């Protein structure tokens, strides 16, 4: 009996001990599942490369991806938005401060809370590559930098006019597919990304991802080599085409996605089949290590933050330092301060001319004087030097 009791009590104690152990195992498994994708933060670089009013649709494309990405959780500080021209406040826009994606002005993708980091003439190939590789001048503000690390998932979206192997920036320069592939390799070598999703919506877009050779890259394009990407619908009030077909259907697909959705990349590859898009969208996954079916859309388009729960208490620092009171009257200036005279006419008229800093003579003057001296000494001989010294 006693032995039996001992056994049952032992079993009971064992059970008691193992239940919390099993529970913590379960929690750890869940935690393991959370971190399976390997990334801890999300970045997005969205670029529109075309200028001029008739390229309204490229700006609308970029803004619709911006809108989806913000809606799914990536904050403005982690988005680098580059728009080569201003469509919203363009004088030709009949409804200022709006950029529409659907005709009859149904959806304003510009919104009321937009932050454009690079705009107008700043959108150049050089700036784009500098943003990607991180080699920016030291005075560049934080909002213009891609501060990603080796656990960042980056989404890169490019749209504009392109051709076989190049993408045109602002009607004056191009970026080639080799340059882009090299830039991604630089990013890989500097460990600036964990995984990268590259989407491009231009004519012959698939040529841009042909040359990639760095690991962990997945690419999507709106058309194959030799095919043109087409625009979707014009709006008769605005007078231009509003969106490109591929991004229009991509936007419709992303509107269905919410931060907790389990949609994966295979669904994204099916966006805009040839019946809708007229061109054949392509994708490339051979450089990507995970199976596309296990990659969630929100791994790139959203910013699902992982939360680590802790039971430790943290002591906050002691209260604020007491406000340093304005020192007593003994310290203050007795005389009162005054405002400056805005247009002191008498003072201006009698202003002494500014002393210019003296600079040594410039190259040309120096050369001229050297020539004159040389000719002088050649003509008159060196013995005349004694007249000078």
Partner 1 sequence: FRLSSLIGHISTCPSLIGQCCQRHPGSVDEFQEELVIRPLHSGDIYASFQFRTLWDTDFLQEGQKVSHYRLFPKSLGQVLSKFSVRELHISFTQGFWRTMQWGQPFIPSPPGAELWVWFHDTVSDVDGNWKELTNVLSGIFCASLNFIDLTNTVQPSASFKPLGLGNATDHRFLRYATLPREIVCTENLTPWKKLLPCGSKAGLAVLLKSEKLFHSSFHSQAVHIRPVCQDEQCTSKAWELRQTLNVVFDLYTAGQGKKEWSLFKMFSRTLTEACPLATSSKVYVDITDNPELFELSPATPLLSQAVVLGDRRTYSVYDLSRAETFGQLRSLNLLLRWKGDGEMLRPLLHAERYVAGFGLQTGEIHTVIYNNHPYRAFPVLLMDSVPWYLQLYIHTLTVTSKSRDNKPSYIHYQPAKDRHRPHLLEMLIQLPPHSMTEVTVQFERALLKWTEYTPDPNHGFYVGSSVVSALVPSMVAMNTNFTQDQPLFSSFVPVKEESSYFVRVYTEPLLVNLPTPDFSMPYNVICLTCTVVAVGYGSFYNLLTRTFQVDEPSLPLAKRLANLIRRIRGVPLLT
Q: Which residues are catalytic?
A: 161, 203
24: left (phi over 0), alpha (psi -120 to 50) or beta: alpha
Helix (H) or strand (E) holding 283: strand 282-284
DSSP state of 78: G
Kindly give the pairing relationship between strand 79-83 and strand 118-119. parallel
Shortest gap between Cβ of 46 and partner 1 (angstroms)?
13
Instruction: Count Cα neighbours of 382 within 13 Å in the Cβ-side half-sphere.
Output: 0
Least distance to partner 1, CB of residue 363, Å? 14
Minimum distance from CB of 299 to partner 1 (Å)? 28
- Name which of 32 and 141 has its Cβ closer to partner 1: 141
Q: Is the dihedral of CA 87, 89, 301, 264 positive or negative?
A: negative
Smallest gap from Cβ 161 to partner 1, in A, equals 13
Quick check: 204 and 227 in contact, CB under 8 A? yes
Q: What are phi and psi of 94, to 5 degrees?
A: -70, -20
Is the CB of 51 or the CB of 232 nearer to partner 1? 51
Residues in contact with partner 1 by CB under 8 A are: 51-52, 86, 88-89, 95-98, 110-117, 119-122, 137, 139-144, 170-172, 320, 323-324, 326, 332-334, 336-345, 348-349, 351, 353-354
Which lies closer to partner 1 via its Cβ, residue 164 or residue 172? 172
Pairing of strands 161-163, 166-169: antiparallel
Q: Is 272 left (phi over 0), alpha (psi -120 to 50) or beta?
A: left
Cβ-based neighbour number of residue 28 at 10 Å: 10
Q: What is the largest CA-CA distance in the chain?
A: 134
Specify the residue, 13 or 97, whose C-beta has the smaller distance to partner 1: 97
Considering beta carbons, is residue 137 or 363 the nearer one to partner 1? 137
Q: How far is the CB of 350 from partner 1 (least distance, A)?
A: 9
């Amino acid at each position: 009996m006693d032995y039996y009791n001992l056994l049952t009590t032992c079993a009971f104690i064992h059970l008691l001990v193992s239940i919390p152990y099993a529970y913590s195992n379960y929690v750890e498994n869940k935690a393991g599942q959370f971190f399976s994708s390997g990334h801890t933060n999300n970045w997005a670089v969205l670029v529109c490369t075309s200028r001029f009013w008739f390229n309204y649709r490229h700006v609308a494309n970029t803004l619709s991806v911006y809108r989806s990405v913000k809606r799914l959780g990536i904050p403005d500080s982690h988005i680098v938005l580059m728009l080569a021209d201003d469509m919203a406040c363009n004088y030709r826009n009949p409804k200022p401060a709006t950029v529409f994606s659907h005709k009859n002005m149904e959806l304003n993708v510009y919104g009321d809370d937009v932050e454009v980091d690079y705009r107008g003439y700043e959108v150049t190939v050089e700036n784009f590559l500098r943003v990607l590789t991180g080699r920016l001048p030291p005075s560049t503000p934080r909002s213009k930098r891609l501060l990603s690390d080796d656990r960042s998932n980056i989404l890169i979206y490019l749209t504009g006019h392109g051709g076989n192997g190049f993408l045109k920036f602002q009607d004056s320069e191009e970026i080639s597919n080799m340059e882009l592939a090299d830039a991604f390799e630089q990013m890989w070598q500097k460990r600036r990304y964990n995984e990268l999703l590259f989407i491009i919506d231009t004519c012959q877009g698939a040529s841009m991802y042909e040359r990639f050779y760095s690991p962990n890259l997945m690419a999507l394009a709106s058309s194959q080599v030799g095919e043109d990407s087409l625009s979707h619908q014009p709006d008769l009030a605005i007078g231009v085409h509003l969106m490109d077909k591929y991004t229009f259907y991509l936007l419709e697909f992303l509107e269905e996605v919410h931060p907790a959705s389990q949609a994966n990349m295979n669904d994204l590859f099916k966006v805009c089949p040839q019946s809708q898009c007229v061109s054949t969208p392509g994708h490339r996954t051979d450089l990507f290590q995970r199976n596309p079916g296990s990659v969630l859309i929100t791994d790139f388009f959203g910013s699902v933050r992982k939360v680590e729960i802790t039971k430790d208490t943290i002591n906050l620092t002691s209260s604020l330092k007491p406000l340093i009171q304005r020192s007593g009257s003994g310290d203050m200036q007795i005389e009162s301060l005054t405002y400056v005279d805005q247009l002191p006419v008498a003072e201006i008229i009698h202003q002494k001319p500014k002393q210019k800093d003296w600079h040594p003579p410039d190259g040309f003057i120096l050369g001229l004087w050297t020539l004159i001296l040389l000719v002088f000494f050649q003509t008159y001989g060196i013995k005349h030097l004694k007249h000078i010294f």
